Chains A and B, each alone.
Chain A
Amino acid sequence: MDTIVVEELTKRFGPVLAVDRLSFSVGTGRVTGFLGPNGAGKTTTLRILLGLVRASAGSATLRGLPYADLPDPARQVGAVLEAISFHPGRRARDHLRILATAARLPRARVEETLALVGLADAGHRRVGGFSLGMRQRLGLATALLGDPEILVLDEPTNGLDPDGVRWLRTLLRQLAGEGRTVLVSSHLLSEVAQTVDDVVIIDDGRLVAQGSLAEVARHAARRFSVLLRSPQATELERVLTAADLEVAVDRDGALVVSGATPDVVGRAVAQAGLTLYEMRPIDHSLEDVFLQLTTRQGSRS
């Protein structure tokens, strides 16, 4: 069952098309990475999902409802959109108490969430004196205040040190292990690769890929290049080029065919009656896959 469903979502800011007929879904109890380069439309999509920005067209729902129609939303959805959503002159504990009061949550949740994010000893301090990492933790405390079933986090690792990133990974896996749905955005696949079950990758406001992390990696790798070794390399290169395939020769003399799957390459080789010693999809790193998916049209530096 899908907890978050985005359908044909479009958002225009004047002449700028920020989100372009975007559709994807997020399964219950999964940690899903929402990935794309800076400016891809991730934050706009999340803001529409959370009812902060109006869609130009399409819909974004949580448990079948727009955010504004959720009964008691703080108990259902927790979100962190940026690390600056605090009055600098207010104490961390007061910030949480205000939201707990507005959401009719028990006051005890304030201390519980401060402890959960490692800020139990900093609750009395004014947020203006917090580091970016501490603000991220306070943002997470805000999101967790209502003990929600769904978490939406926009670039939550920004400002966290390596220990903080490790702590966040563990926390997110723990939350997903409790059956919660987590949607976490990032512009770096490597940042979330150890945390997420699924990925949704967007670029220029459009969906580029969606699926489990392993599926997307496999699919993308196969889609983009196949490595061939043959004692008839010159003849093989001529045959593949004649079949409109893009062929390059690597440093070891192997042929690398781009933009074709192994079955297409295999058929061309078989029809030509050539001998192969090796044929395999190139094992891209996840980051390679991500970069290939999001720079296909060469529009980004």
Chain B
Amino acid sequence: MTALLRAEARKTVTTRSTLAVVGAVVAYPALGLLPAVLAAGAPAVDEGTLLAVLRGGADVVVIAALLLGILAAAGEYRHGTIVPILLVAPRRERFVAAKLGSQAALAAVLALAVSAVGLLAGGWYLAGRDVSVRVLSADVLGTVGAVVLVASLYATIGAAVGALVRNQTAAVAGALIWVLAVENVVPLVLRSPGLKRWLPGGAVDRLLHVADPLAGTGGPWAALVALAGLTAVLAAGAALFTRSADVR
């Protein structure tokens, strides 16, 4: 299992496309988010600006983690690399566990890196305006922890979806449609606005925006249970499907 995890890590660092996505996401807080947060009208910058930067970065990290997970799993089928790796590791559930675990770890590192860049950029900006900032406040650390957690869960979901769908284009398109449209439309169609809180995106909102009125009932722990439950179901489904399905 350790060998498979190391092999998966090596896969990540030996493809330019993955590194390019990671680089763009890490640079996002400094290059794009901070100016956007300020332009959005926070006339009185304060410590809350820092949290806004972190949460804004999390939105990008979560989508990136989801897509990287899909690309990592479905890409094995797209490029045919599933064949040599399964010949080396024919017990497929181990391969799936390594794939999902490595993507979760990559997402955690990515979330930490994005948060660090956000804190550095935000801290530097606020310090330049004589705003007193406690970078290691409980709110900041809690938000960073939540970002790492949801990014890891979303990466696991992405890898599981990639393993289940196998068709990379279909999996990416489906995931984007879900995130950008379905999660917003379904509660409206069903006339049940509260439903959104229990969908993945709503759960992320509850975990990251703990003071947001949208959080509603249940709180972050219930959101975490909902998101972790969905992740566990998809991961188990990916393992069972990969174990039994033909590789043609």
One of B88-96, B190-198, B215-223, B227-235 at the interface: B88-96
Instruction: From the candidates A52, A81, A87, A142, name the one contacting B15 in the complex (CB within 8 A).
Output: A87
**Min distance, Cβ A150 to any Cβ of chain B, angstroms:** 12
Instruction: From the candidates B17, B85, B246, name the one contacting A102 in the complex (CB within 8 A).
Output: B85
Given A68-B91, A101-B7: A47 in contact with B80 (beta carbons within 8 A): no
Which 3 A-B residue pairings sit nearest by Cβ, starting from the closest?
A: A102-B7, A85-B80, A94-B14
Chain A residues within 8 Å of B, Cβ to Cβ: 47, 50-54, 67-68, 70, 73-74, 77, 79, 81-82, 84-91, 94, 97-99, 101-104, 142
B244 to chain A: closest residue by CB: A54
Q: Return chain B residues, CB-CB under 8 Å to A68.
A: 90-91
Q: Would A101 and B6 count as touching, CB distance under 8 A? A: yes
Q: Would B246 and A54 count as touching, CB distance under 8 A? A: yes
Q: Return chain A residues, CB-CB under 8 Å to B16.
A: 89
Chain B positions 69 through 84: 1 when the CB is less than 8 Å from some CB of chain A, otherwise 0: 0000001000111011
Given A68-B90, A89-B15, A90-B15: A101 in contact with B79 (beta carbons within 8 A): no
Answer whether residue B63 sits at the interface, using C-beta atoms and an 8 A cutoff: no
**Min distance, Cβ B17 to any Cβ of chain A, angstroms:** 6
Given A87-B81, A89-B17, A103-B3: A74 in contact with B10 (beta carbons within 8 A): no
Answer whether residue B134 sits at the interface, using C-beta atoms and an 8 A cutoff: no
**Min distance, Cβ B146 to any Cβ of chain A, angstroms:** 33
Distance between Cα atoms of A54 and B241 in the complex (Å)? 13
Cross-chain pairs A/B with CB under 8 angstroms, 14 sampled:
A52-B86, A52-B87, A73-B88, A85-B79, A85-B81, A87-B79, A90-B14, A97-B14, A98-B7, A101-B10, A102-B3, A102-B7, A102-B85, A103-B88
**Min distance, Cβ B94 to any Cβ of chain A, angstroms:** 10
B14 to chain A: closest residue by CB: A94
Given A91-B14, A97-B10, A102-B7: A52 in contact with B91 (beta carbons within 8 A): no
Answer whether residue B39 sits at the interface, using C-beta atoms and an 8 A cutoff: no
Distance between Cα atoms of A51 and B10 in the complex (Å)? 25
Distance between Cα atoms of A17 and B89 in the complex (Å)? 28
Chain B residues within 8 Å of A, Cβ to Cβ: 3-4, 6-7, 10-11, 14-17, 75, 79-81, 83-91, 244, 246-248
Q: Select the residue from B7, B83, B84 with max chain A CB neighbours within 10 A.
A: B84
A94 to chain B: closest residue by CB: B14
Q: Return chain A residues, CB-CB under 8 Å to B11.
A: 87, 90, 98
Q: Would A52 and B247 count as touching, CB distance under 8 A? A: yes
Q: Would B87 and A73 count as touching, CB distance under 8 A? A: yes
Given A73-B90, A98-B14, A103-B3: A142 in contact with B84 (beta carbons within 8 A): yes
Q: Would A53 and B247 count as touching, CB distance under 8 A? A: yes
Question: With A51-B86, A52-B86 given, can you name 15 additional A-B contacts, CB distance below 8 Å?
Answer: A53-B246, A77-B87, A82-B83, A85-B80, A85-B84, A86-B80, A90-B15, A97-B14, A98-B10, A98-B11, A99-B88, A101-B10, A102-B3, A102-B85, A102-B89
Q: Return chain A residues, CB-CB under 8 Å to B84.
A: 85, 99, 142
Distance between Cα atoms of A89 and B4 in the complex (Å)? 21
